[in-house]
Amino acid sequence: MIKSEYHISKMDCPSEENMIRMKLDGLPVIKKLDFDIENRNLTVFHSEEDKEILYRLESLNFGAKLTQTSSIDVNEVALEDSDVQSKLLWSVLIINFAFFVIEMTTGLISKSMGLVADSLDMLADSFVYGLSLWAVGSTVLRKKKVARLSGYFQLTLALLGIIEIVRRFIGSEAMPDYRIMIGVSIFALIANGICLYLLQKSKSNEAHMKASMIFTSNDVIINAGVILAGILVLLTQSKYPDLIIGSIVFLIVVKGAFRILKLGK
């Protein structure tokens, strides 16, 4: 058995972990993946040398570099429980999708583009977790096809959101409801915390895994940004803080869409 360690500089949340899992799916030489998100490290246990592992990691543009390779006894490797992984993926998928619906609905009601943009970020995470579940027991070709469709759908929604923000910048739109912005974003923040806790709890039972830090998650940063926008809307009595935060989040969503599309290559 071969143990290869990689440092992945741009891997900082569970969503990116699942994208890496999907990208490496289908390589028969891989027996187990161990993620240390806090330190941005990945350990791959594989039965023989295969340059395809590094090639696939590099294709994600997460800054993957091979740091160490060694031979170990096969008995040192405890294989992952796929049933446990699936249950956890279902849990975080349901939470993310539920808050996509909540934030999209309340965003439209409150006229907050920050909430609408954040809801699409939640949807992007739902796509990633959903694709991971889809990959279980299905062909790599089918998984890639769904990844492409999901990426294009996400990109289309994000671009429509950016167009709407430009229209609101130019036009005379009503000020968003800061109370709904702040309240819903606080609950979304809690939901993301629960997702990270579930993933951390899973990793605590696996060797070489460390819990991911909640404040390294882009989702948590986005939630905090929308809360800040709500406070600034209250203080300034202006629509612009919401539109600025919404613009930033939509750009993040566009970036996430391109990452999803890469899985379809």
| 207-252 pLDDT tens trace | 322 333 333 356 777 888 899 999 999 999 999 999 999 898 888 8
Q: Over the chain, what HEC string results?
A: CEEEEEEECCCCCHHHHHHHHHHHCCCCCEEEEEEECCCCEEEEEECCCCCHHHHHHHHCCCCEEEEEEEECCHHHCCCCCHHHHHHHHHHHHHHHHHHHHHHHHHHHHHCCHHHHHHHHHHHHHHHHHHHHHHHCCCCHHHHHHHHHHHHHHHHHHHHHHHHHHHHHHHCCCCCCCHHHHHHHHHHHHHHHHHHHHHHHHHHCCCCCCECCCHHHCHHHHHHHHHHHHHHHHHHHCCCHHHHHHHHHHHHHHHHHHHHHHHHCC
Q: For residue 216, what pLDDT is reported? A: 37
> What range does the domain containing 18 cover?
2-76
Last residue of a domain, one of 59, 76, 93: 76
pTM exceeds cut of 0.75: no
Quick one: pLDDT at residue 122? 81
Whether residue 26 sits in one domain with residue 88: no
pLDDT of residue 85: 61
Q: Do 210 and 233 have their domain in common?
A: yes
Q: Which residue, 76, 93, 124, sits at the end of a domain?
A: 76
Pair (117, 169) in one structural domain: yes
The answer to whether residues 63 and 90 belong to one domain is: no
- Distance, CA of 31 to chain centre: 24
CATH assignment at residue 23 = 3.30.70.100
Residues of the chain with pLDDT under 70: 13-15, 76-86, 88, 128, 131-144, 196, 198-218, 263-265
pLDDT score at 231? 94
pLDDT of 23: 83
Instruction: Tell me which of 58, 76, 94 is where a domain ends.
Output: 76
Q: Are residues 179 and 114 in the same domain?
A: yes
The total of structural domains in the chain comes to: 2
**The pLDDT value given to residue 24:** 85
Please give the biggest Cα pair distance in the chain.
Answer: 68
Confidence (pLDDT) at 138: 57
Sequence letter at residue 119 = S
